[in-house]
Chains A and B, each alone.
Chain A
Amino acid sequence: MNYQGLQDLELLELVGEKDREALAELYDRYGRRVFALAARMLNDSVSSEEVTQDVFMSVWRRGGTYASNKGKFTTWLFSIAHNRTIDELRKRKRDRSRQNDDIDDHLNIEAGDMSPADAAVAQSEYAKVREAMDDLPTEQKQVIELSYFKGLTQTEIAEKTDQPLGTVKTRMRLALKKLRNSLSTEMGAQV
């Protein structure tokens, strides 16, 4: 079977039938994105690999239950990845054993090789999202960075930025709406 020619949802259906090749193809398509998100948030190779493995095992176990009418597969996948990574971040905070609040550089990440074509696509996606982020007002950008990439709750953001909780919520909502406007036309069809 030519798995590379199948759509995401067709692959997901095969994953529901416990087809490992289908899962491998989904991993080939989105594994690096999931890993990059985890690495960006955790700054730790081992944890990022664990999160990525957990995410795809979740796809393996829950693939058959995915309902396409609830949104795109990638939205679902990245949501799983983001939530799983935030779980890891908050677990660290509880443990207080591995803080990374002030670390932005990926100094501890052991990365694999990426084909030139994949690297070009990834760089293009990254540039578009960062451009959209940079277009946000500074306060809104900060809220998105702290919530999405740092895993802070709204209350934690309010405390960190010394802003009322309501202001944080409003900025978060406005930021997502502006990001949607700028990203949906350019990238809506890509992932």
Chain B
Amino acid sequence: MTGSREENQAFENIAGYVLNSLDSDAEREEVEELISTDSAAQREHREMNETAGLLALGAEPMAPPARLRTSILDQTRLDNPGAKTQAPAGLVSRLVQSGYAASAIAAILVLAVAVTVGVQNSRLNNEVGQLRNKLNSELQVVNALREELESSKTDSMAMVNQMESEMKKMESDFGSTLAQVSHQEQIVSELSIANNALVQALRDQSWLTYVAMKEGYQVESWLANQQVPSDASGLIAVRVVGNEAVFQVHGLEQPLPGHAYTLWLIDNGGPNPVAQFSVSEIGSATVAFLLPAPLYLYSSVAVTQEPIGKVDHNPSGITVLSTETK
């Protein structure tokens, strides 16, 4: 920069130049000339131009409508790319004036059109190539996604099959467990019954043994079902001294509703009811009674079912236990 008045003025106008606020084309041309020749002016212009560029960001942020992007890209398609290939008007004029025939002009036009078409073809080819490359890339992505989906599907199917298999096994195990539980419950029930029977039998046996040992009883008679095979049995123990007796029975079925078992002592005079009794769940009962006469004076002993409270001297029910005493 030389420091002339005009140059200083132009230097001062660099700010106005970058802000596009100079008033005349002459001022702009002065600045441009200075910038093209003076390094200090070039630096000043570059710095101020960059600063002015940053000022653009001082506009409130705002996004353009989405359609604008599409519109611009559409516009690039409509833009005439063949303009560069058109022959200058002066050349055409000179050709005409020089006497070349219209065929020459036509040939040039044909050539220009051919070049234009060639450029357009080339551009179209480039675009087709770019689209093809893009399509190939997208196809690769789609294929990769498809493979991934297939893989995921296979894994999922295998997992589902495995889960189904495990569920079936669990169902089978559960069924087996249910059967086992049911069987065990049955066994427990049977054991409970057997245990109760054992407890009852032990209690009866203990009582009888106690009576026999402490009170001087002895078994005088064993009773059984004389008509049909039966698990039921009974005995009569009589005190060695005196007429006290104990009748004990096991295995009798539960009597009919409204009935109870009746113990009979039978002699020549006929049946004599001794006692009416019920039985436990396992058909056990123990009855203490006084013998009207020594047992050997009776011909037999029997047990029948009779209506409760309606016992006379004639047994009406079937004899379930009996024995001869003589």
Q: Determine whether the beta carbon of A18 is less than 8 Å from that of B62.
A: no
Q: Determine whether the beta carbon of B65 is less than 8 Å from that of A53.
A: no
Residue of A with least CB distance to B14 = A173
Can you give 9 contacting A-B residue pairs, CB < 8 Å? A18-B76, A20-B73, A33-B56, A49-B68, A75-B52, A147-B21, A148-B55, A173-B12, A184-B54
- B48: A residues at CB distance < 8 A: 173, 176-177, 180
| CB-CB under 8 A for A56 and B22, given A172-B15, A176-B15 | no
Q: How far is the CB of B56 from chain A (nearest CB, A)?
A: 4
Q: Determine whether the beta carbon of B21 is less than 8 Å from that of A153.
A: yes
Q: Decide yes or no whether A157 CB sits under 8 A from chain B.
A: yes
- A12: B residues at CB distance < 8 A: none
Give the residue of B49, B62, B123 whose beta carbon is less than 8 angstroms from that of A71.
Answer: B49
Interface size class on chain B is 35 or more
Most buried by B among A34, A75, A188: A75
User: Which 8 pairs across A and B sit closest by C-beta, in order of nearness?
Assistant: A122-B61, A40-B59, A129-B58, A35-B64, A75-B53, A114-B63, A78-B56, A147-B21
Q: Determine whether the beta carbon of A79 is less than 8 Å from that of B21.
A: no
| CB-CB under 8 A for A32 and B64, given A61-B79, A180-B47, A191-B54 | yes
Q: Decide yes or no whether A36 CB sits under 8 A from chain B.
A: yes
Residue of A with least CB distance to B78 = A57
Q: Determine whether the beta carbon of B64 is less than 8 Å from that of A111.
A: yes
Distance between Cα atoms of A144 and B18 in the complex (Å): 12
Residue of A with least CB distance to B61 = A122
- A48: B residues at CB distance < 8 A: 64
| CB-CB under 8 A for A53 and B21, given A35-B64, A74-B53, A126-B58 | no
Q: How far is the CB of B226 from chain A (nearest CB, A)?
A: 106
Q: Knowing that A45-B65, A157-B21, A191-B57 are A-B contacts, what are 17 other residue pairs whose CB atoms are under 8 Å apart, sorted by A's residue number?
A: A18-B126, A20-B73, A31-B68, A49-B64, A52-B68, A57-B72, A78-B52, A79-B53, A86-B20, A111-B62, A129-B55, A149-B58, A151-B20, A169-B16, A172-B21, A175-B15, A177-B48
**Which of chain B's residues 115-138 have a Cβ closer than 8 Å to chain A?**
123, 126-127, 130, 133
Q: Decide yes or no whether A152 CB sits under 8 A from chain B.
A: yes
Residue of B with least CB distance to A170 = B12
Q: Decide yes or no whether A106 CB sits under 8 A from chain B.
A: yes
Q: Determine whether the beta carbon of A126 is less than 8 Å from that of B53.
A: no
Q: Determine whether the beta carbon of B52 is less than 8 Å from that of A60.
A: no
Q: Decide yes or no whether B89 CB sits under 8 A from chain A.
A: no
Q: Decide yes or no whether B51 CB sits under 8 A from chain A.
A: yes
0 or 1 for each of B72-85: is its CB under 8 Å from A? (1 = yes): 11011101010000
Distance between Cα atoms of A187 and B19 in the complex (Å): 19
Give the residue of A31, A79, A106, A172 whose beta carbon is less than 8 angstroms from that of B16.
Answer: A172
Q: Decide yes or no whether B23 CB sits under 8 A from chain A.
A: yes
Most buried by A among B58, B71, B126: B58
- A39: B residues at CB distance < 8 A: 59, 62
Q: Determine whether the beta carbon of B16 is less than 8 Å from that of A147.
A: yes
Q: Decide yes or no whether A9 CB sits under 8 A from chain B.
A: no
Q: Decide yes or no whether A93 CB sits under 8 A from chain B.
A: no
Q: Determine whether the beta carbon of B19 is less than 8 Å from that of A148.
A: yes
Q: Determine whether the beta carbon of B21 is less than 8 Å from that of A27.
A: no
Distance between Cα atoms of A133 and B75 in the complex (Å): 37
Q: Determine whether the beta carbon of B126 is less than 8 Å from that of A109.
A: no
- B15: A residues at CB distance < 8 A: 169, 172-173, 175-176
Give the residue of B47, B49, B62 whose beta carbon is less than 8 angstroms from that of A35.
Answer: B62
Distance between Cα atoms of A39 and B56 in the complex (Å): 11
Give the residue of B13, B21, B50 whose beta carbon is less than 8 angstroms from that of A152.
Answer: B21
Distance between Cα atoms of A148 and B53 in the complex (Å): 10
Q: Determine whether the beta carbon of A176 is less than 8 Å from that of B52.
A: yes
| CB-CB under 8 A for A112 and B63, given A57-B79, A129-B57, A144-B55 | yes
Residue of B with least CB distance to A38 = B59
Q: Decide yes or no whether A123 CB sits under 8 A from chain B.
A: yes
Q: How far is the CB of B59 from chain A (nearest CB, A)?
A: 3
Distance between Cα atoms of A133 and B57 in the complex (Å): 11
Q: Decide yes or no whether A92 CB sits under 8 A from chain B.
A: no
Q: Decide yes or no whether B5 CB sits under 8 A from chain A.
A: no
Give the residue of B19, B47, B69, B81 whose beta carbon is less than 8 angstroms from that of A31.
Answer: B69
| CB-CB under 8 A for A40 and B50, given A24-B73, A173-B14 | no
